[in-house]
Structure 1
Amino acid sequence: MKCPYCSAPDSKVVNSRSSDDGTAIRRRRECLACARRFTTYERAQLEPLMVVKRGGVRQAFNPDKLLRGLTLATEKRPVTEEQLRAFAYSFEDEVQTPEISSEEIGRRAMNFLKPLDEVAYIRFASVYRDFDSLERFIEEIRGLKDES
C-alpha cells in the first residue's frame, strides 16, 4: 500500500480488526520509509454503485470523494472523523439500487449533517446547491431557523 504522506511503495500492517458491522477490515499501517501511520479499509466489492452525474456521465461511487467533501464542510467543527467515515463508508451499503444520482448523494449528505452541525450543513449546502448570491445563503439559514 502506497504511503499517503511520502508515497513510498511499502508499508507494514501494525493492527487489523473487523469493522463494527463486520463488512470491512480496518488495518493500521506504518510506512517503512517515513514511519508515519495511516488507516486503510478493505471490503468486498460485489457490484459497484454507479453515480449518475448532472451531465449524465456515470462513474463508480467513491466513498473517499464523499468523505473529502464532508471533511471540508466540517473543518474546525465539532464533528468527529469517525462519524464522517461511518457515513461515507456505509453509504454504499445503505443504497438499495444499482445507480444513484449525484443530487441524491448530496441530499443524503445534507440530511446527515443537518442534525450534527448547522454550520457544516450550510457549508456543504453552499457547494451542493451552488449558491450564487448572498440572498441564497440567507434564505437557507432562515429555513434552518424556521425548522428549529
Structure 2
Amino acid sequence: MKCPFCGKENTRVIDSRPADDCSSIRRRRQCDECSKRFTTYEKVETIPLVVIKKDNNREPYDRSKIEAGVFRSCHKRPISVDQINALVDEVENTIFNLEEKEVPSNKIGEIVMDKLKSLDAVAYVRFASVYREFKDVNTFMNELKKILDHEHV
C-alpha cells in the first residue's frame, strides 16, 4: 500500500484488529522508507446497490445522502457524531442485509426513521416531516401524537 506521507509503496502491517464496529479490520501500517505510521480500514466489498426513487428513476446508493439527512435532523440536538455514524452504520447494515440489488428510497427512509425514533424523538420528527412531506400542521400533529402515545404506553 502506498504511504500517504512519502508516496512510496513499501509499507508493512504492524498491527491488525477488528474495528469498533466489528465489520471491518483496522490495520496499523508503517512505511519502510520514511518510517511514518498510518491506519487503514478493510471492509467487505458489498454488492452494488441501486436506489429506486419516488419517480421510478434509479441511482446508485450513496451513503452520504443518508448521513446528510440524519445530520440535518440532529442539528442542535444532544447527539454526538459517533452516535450519528453508528446510526448510519446500522441503517446501512440493515439495507445491505436485505440482499436486494435494488431498494426503494421509501424503504430506506422508513429504516432511517425507525432508527432515529429510538435515538431522539425531535430528530425523528424533523426527519419525518421532510421525508413524509407533511403538508399541513394536522399531519405534523398526528405524527407527534403517535410519538406521545407510544411514550405513555
Query: Normalization by structure 2: what TM-score?
Result: 0.69
User: 1:1-148 alignment to 2 at 5 Å?
Assistant: 19-20=19-20, 21-23=22-24, 43-95=43-95, 96=98, 97-148=100-151
Counterpart of 1:146, as a letter, is D
Quote the Cα distance in structure 2 between the aligned partners of 1:120 and 1:45. Answer: 31
Residue correspondences, number: 123
Contact 2:125 2:143 in 1 (8 A): yes
RMSD: 2.5
Contact 2:91 2:115 in 1 (8 A): no
1:73-117 Cα distance to aligned partner (Å, 9 max, x none): 000112221122123245333332222111011101111011111
1:22-41 Cα distance to aligned partner (Å, 9 max, x none): 426599xxxxxxxxxxxx97
Contact 1:24 1:44 in 2 (8 A): no
Contact 2:49 2:60 in 1 (8 A): yes
Query: Normalization by structure 1: what TM-score?
Result: 0.71
Q: Which runs of 5+ in 1 are unaligned?
A: 1-10, 28-39
Quote the Cα distance in structure 2 between the aligned partners of 1:111 and 1:137. Answer: 17
Compare CA radii of gyration and give the structure with the larger one.
2
